[in-house]
Amino acid sequence: MRSTQAPADAVLAELHEWHLALRAQFPIITGHPDLTYLDSAATTQKPQAVLDAVHTYLTTTNANAGRGTYTWANQTTALVRETGQRIKEFLHDPDPQHSGVHFVSGTTEGLRTIARDWLVPFLDDGDEIIVPFADHQANILPWLEARDLLARQGIRVLVRPMPYQPGSGDYDLAALDRLVTERTRFVAASHVHHVYGGNMNIHRIRRIVSPHVAICLDAAQSVGHLPVSTTELDVDFAVFSGHKTLALPGSGAVWARNARGPQFAPAGWGGSPNTTGIASLRAALDWLDAAGTDRIDRWARALAARLTDGLRSLPAYEVLGCQRSLAADTEVQQRHGIVTFRHRAIDSGDLGFILFSHGFMVRSDSHCQGSAGERQESVRVSLHVYKTPQEIDQLLAVLATLE
């Protein structure tokens, strides 16, 4: 795929002043100039607007939602309802009158709820589902649990592994085309891979599978990081975590299109929603819209290209994923703010400790990848709008001393 983006340095120069204004809005970043946070794929930092929204909610209208008739309760109930509508707008919902938004604690709970309360009743004996065994375990285990639950009911469901291109981490769409049968009912996929940082081309999956096949999108690494359009992707579910979207931990949402299969409705009594998390999520989406997710994505991609270009010149390091995307002026799609690598001689866990001794906070483990993924631990650098080119250069300088 030929890149439509300008070279990395040109993007960084174009967005420099925009970036400085946004970086200044993150107190934890500006308050710790001696530390460099490079783990935004695990959780994002929070802008002042989100912190202010939480403080305002807790000090002015804090109440339970849907369980009172007084002013604070009514305002909180409206907050929950309006945030659901705001999520539909943010995801470019193609049919907001028929879709639904259900608040959850995060992506993992959302995917498990879909598996338990929607997929299990939907499938019949002999049906097939496709599962991405080299993605995050949160997008693998719930579907296996659904299969096992159905097996205990005497219903046999075949789980087919999503095919991958060797070495790149991308889905092998040609092989997927050969894998789909008339009994394929459901495909689980990730929008952006949490280890390789690549866009997994979900719109192409819809072109391959039947128009009647449901697609569930793990959008944990895309919502809040780049523009997400459920209209363009033509998926049935999109699930994301608030804490990876500049909002508070313990918040997240399932967007359900309700166009294929039964309407999605979590079973049982819902209980009290995380109203503080929902308030933070509403503020985060407003902040992201004002900042521009397209520009956030361009900034993070340019930083990632700067990092991969630097690592390419250091023979001691192996960058995981597509090798054709390492150069800053690559003509293939760049990584969406995630770069994962190994030192050929130093253990990744040890490398993580070394980097922290220099003030760099990175992820260094197996990244919760599934059974078909990387077996060996690695170091993951993940970026967001509050990261600078200077920090990338400083990281590369430290890595170069370990050659």
Q: What pLDDT does 1 receive? A: 33
Q: What pLDDT does 26 receive? A: 98
Angle at 334 between CA 330 and CA 338, to 5 degrees: 135
Q: What pLDDT does 115 receive? A: 98
Q: Closest Cα to residue 385, out of 347, 336, 343?
A: 336
User: Using one digit for the tens of pLDDT, what is the confidence trace for 159-213?
Assistant: 999 999 988 889 999 999 999 999 999 999 999 999 999 999 999 999 999 899 9
pTM above 0.85, yes or no: yes
Q: What pLDDT does 6 receive? A: 60
Q: What pLDDT does 7 receive? A: 86
Please answer whether residues 318 and 339 qualify as being in contact, where contact means their C-beta atoms are separated by less than 8 angstroms: no
* CA torsion through residues 108, 250, 340, 290, sign: positive
Q: What pLDDT does 360 receive? A: 98
pLDDT tens-place values along the chain, 403 residues long? 334 446 899 999 999 999 999 999 999 999 999 999 999 999 999 999 999 999 999 999 999 998 889 999 999 999 999 999 999 999 999 999 999 999 999 999 999 999 999 999 999 999 999 999 999 999 999 999 999 999 999 999 999 999 999 888 899 999 999 999 999 999 999 999 999 999 999 999 999 998 999 999 999 999 999 999 999 999 999 999 999 999 999 999 999 999 999 999 999 888 899 999 999 999 999 999 999 999 999 999 999 999 999 999 999 999 999 888 788 777 676 789 999 999 999 999 999 999 999 999 999 989 998 988 888 999 999 999 999 999 999 999 999 999 8
Tell me which DSSP letter residue 234 carries.
Answer: T
143: phi then psi, degrees, rounded to nearest 5: -75, -35
> How does DSSP assign 65-112, residue by residue?
SSS--SHHHHHHHHHHHHHHHHHHHHTT-S-TTT-EEEEESSHHHHHH
Distances (CA, A) of 322 to 121, 169, 199, 220, 398: 38, 7, 11, 21, 24
| CA R_g for the chain | 21
Q: How far is it, in rounded angstroms, from Cα 212 to Cα 214?
A: 6
